[in-house]
Structure 1
C-alpha cells in the first residue's frame, strides 16, 4: 500500500510542521509511504523564484534530516513534464464547477485583486500528484479532504470513460498531531508563510533565537499555571509544545512549574534539544550541494519510474499517446 504526503515550501519549515507532521512521517511511516516537496503548489500566489528554489532545497534537507529515507522522498517540480501532461488530461475530465466549488479556492481568492488561474486548477494538479504515484491513501487534514475527493472523482470518471488506469485513492485523516499556535498570537496557527515571524519558531533557527522567541511568547495576567486552553490559550500553547517535546500530557507538565518564566525556560530548552539534531543534520545536507543534488536526482528518477506506466497508459487511453 502506498501513502502519499507533501509539504509546500511557502516558507521556512517551522516547529508546527515538524511536531505535527514531519516527525511523525519519520517515526511512524511504513516502507511504502512517499513524501514530496510540493513546490509547484507554492506558485498559485505571488512568489519569488529564487526564494522558492532555495526553500525547496531547504525543505528537502529538513525531510532527510528528520530521518525519512531518501528513497521515499522527491521534489514535485522534478516531475514537471509528467505532471503537466497528466494534469492536462485530468483538467479535460474536470468541470469548471467542480474546480470552482473547492472551499480553499473560494477562501484564498476572496479579497485578492488578481486571482491566478493556478489557484483554481491546483486541485487538479494535486490529483495528478496522487494518481501518478498510484497512491492508495492520502493522509490529510479536514481542509484537504475535498481535494482528495476530487482526485477520486476524476480517477473514477477517467477509468469508466476510457479504461482502467488509475488507482482510486482514499483520504485518511492524519493521525492526532501537535497543533502549535503562533507564540505572539495564540489564536492563530503557527505558519511558515506568515508575514510576522516573531511568533514563529523555524526549525533552522539558531538556538539563542529560539530562546528569545519563546521568552517573549504571549501568556496572560491570570498568573494561574494550569492547562485551560479556552481561557489561557497562550499558556496552553506553551504547555502543549512542552508536552509534545517530552512525550507527556499538558496537564502533567503544568504540574512541574510554578511561574510563567520558569515554564518558558523549560519550553525553550525542550524545543532547542528537540530541534538540535534536525538542525545540525539539515545544515550538513545544505553544506553539501552536490550530495543533496544526487539524492534529489535519484528521488526524481524513482518517482518517474513509479509513474511511467500510469502516464503512458493514461495518454494512450485518452487518445494522445
Structure 2
C-alpha cells in the first residue's frame, strides 16, 4: 500500500482530531476498513500492523474477544504484526511499576497461548527499544502544550486517575503512542471508533515531521500515514453488567481455572424475570451473558435464549459457564505449560526485542538523516 501524500497539518491539531470523528470522516474510515480487509485477503504483504497492551494486570476474556482474537486473525492472514508490551506507559498514571516483571511474563503466556506465533509476530517491550523512545524528542517538537491538553486521550486518562496531578509522561502520552506506531513504520492500526482521535494524532505528528524536517530522499516521507482497521470485535461487559475491569473485580481472566470461572459466573448479575430473552436495551446483564455464550459457542444469542426459555438465571449461568470453560480449555492448558517455563517466555520476548531494535534503529537512522544530524 502506498503512503498518502505528505500534506501540511493544521496549526490547530484539535481540528484534525475533531474531523477524525465527524460522521462523514467516520463513514470514510469504515469504507476504507472494508477495502483494507479485501486487500489483505488478496495480498497481505503491503501492510504492517502495530498494536499492544499495558501490563497493568492479567488479561481477561474481554481482552480476548475485544482485541486478542482479532490479532491472531490478522497474523494468520499473513500480515506482519508488531505487538508492544507498553511497560513504560504503566507509570503514566501510577507511582510505581508494581509487580511488572510477573505481569509481563503473564502477558507473554496469554499471548502465546491464544495463538500468537513469535515466528510471525514480533512481541517486544517499550523499555527494551531505545530508538522508539528517542523518537519522542523530535516528535515533541512538532506538537504544542495546548494541543496535548486538548487531546481526548489525555483528557480520558486524566479523568481515570481521579484528577491527580498530571505527570509529564501522561501529558505526552499521545506522542509516545505516535512513537509506538511510527518507530516500526506501521501503516495499519486496529482500533475502535473511540480511538480514532489517537490515531489522527499520530498522523499529525508524521505529517508535521515531514513538513518541518524533510525527507531522506525526495520520493517519500520518513513516516507513513497509518490507517485505521476498525474493529468488528464484540464488547463483553463485566459480570456486574458494567465495563469489564480488573479494578472492579468483575472479570474472568484468560488464565483462570474452570472452578474459579464457575464461581464467578454464579455471582453474575441477572434480573428477576425467569424467562430468558436477548434484549440488550432492556436486559443488558442477561443479554451480556447470552452474548458471552454466543461468542464461545458460535451460536446465535437469540436462539440460545429461546433454548433456555423459562429456565431462569440459574440455567443461563450454567450454559454460560459450560460454554466459557469449554472454549478456553485448550488455551488454558497451553497457558499452564507456558507459565511453567518462564525461561522460554523470556527467550521469546528477548528475540522480539532484538528484532524491534533492528527495525527501530533503522528508522532512527532515517530520522537523523532527515534532520541533518548524522555525525
Shared fold, TM over 0.5: yes
CA distance in 1, matches of 2:300, 2:173: 38
2:106 equivalent in structure 1: 58
Determine if the alignment matches structure 1 residue 289 to structure 2 residue 335.
no
CA distance in 2, matches of 1:60, 1:296: 8
- Output aligned runs, 1:22-61, within 5 Å: 22-29=68-75, 30-31=77-78, 32-46=80-94, 48-61=96-109
Contact 2:122 2:355 in 1 (8 A): no
The answer to which of 241-250 and 137-146 deviates more is 137-146
Contact 1:104 1:143 in 2 (8 A): no
Contact 2:124 2:353 in 1 (8 A): yes
| Cα distance, 1:287 vs structure 2 | 1.4
| Cα distance, 1:36 vs structure 2 | 2.2
| Cα distance, 1:47 vs structure 2 | 5.2
2:222 equivalent in structure 1: 165
Provide structure 1 residue ranges, at least 5 long, that are not aligned to the other structure: none
1:86 equivalent in structure 2: 135
2:123 equivalent in structure 1: 74
CA distance in 2, matches of 1:48, 1:202: 23
Normalised by the length of structure 2, the TM-score is 0.80
1:4 equivalent in structure 2: 50
Once the two structures are superposed, residues 61-81 of structure 1 have per-residue CA deviations (whole angstroms, 9 ceiling, x without a partner) of 211111111131322324341
Once the two structures are superposed, residues 131-182 of structure 1 have per-residue CA deviations (whole angstroms, 9 ceiling, x without a partner) of 11111111111222111111111111111222231112122211x2121111
Q: Helix, strand or coil: the match of 1:262?
A: helix
2:352 equivalent in structure 1: 299
The answer to which of 215-224 and 32-41 deviates more is 32-41
Determine if the alignment matches structure 1 residue 219 to structure 2 residue 273.
no
Normalised by the length of structure 1, the TM-score is 0.93
1:208 equivalent in structure 2: 259
Q: Call closer, same or farther: CA 1:47–1:113 in 2, change over 3 Å.
A: closer
- Output aligned runs, 1:1-321, within 5 Å: 1-29=47-75, 30-31=77-78, 32-46=80-94, 48-71=96-119, 72-110=121-159, 111-162=162-213, 163=215, 164-174=221-231, 176-184=232-240, 186=241, 188-192=242-246, 194=247, 196-197=248-249, 199-258=250-309, 259=311, 260-321=313-374
Contact 1:140 1:172 in 2 (8 A): yes
CA distance in 1, matches of 2:283, 2:127: 45
| Cα distance, 1:223 vs structure 2 | 2.0
Contact 1:89 1:318 in 2 (8 A): no
Q: Call closer, same or farther: CA 1:28–1:75 in 2, change over 3 Å.
A: closer
Q: Helix, strand or coil: the match of 2:83?
A: strand
Contact 2:48 2:186 in 1 (8 A): yes
Matched positions, count? 315
The answer to which of 80-89 and 202-211 deviates more is 80-89
CA distance in 1, matches of 2:147, 2:334: 43
Contact 1:3 1:135 in 2 (8 A): yes
Q: Call closer, same or farther: CA 1:221–1:234 in 2, change over 3 Å.
A: same
| Cα distance, 1:225 vs structure 2 | 0.6
CA distance in 2, matches of 1:114, 1:78: 24
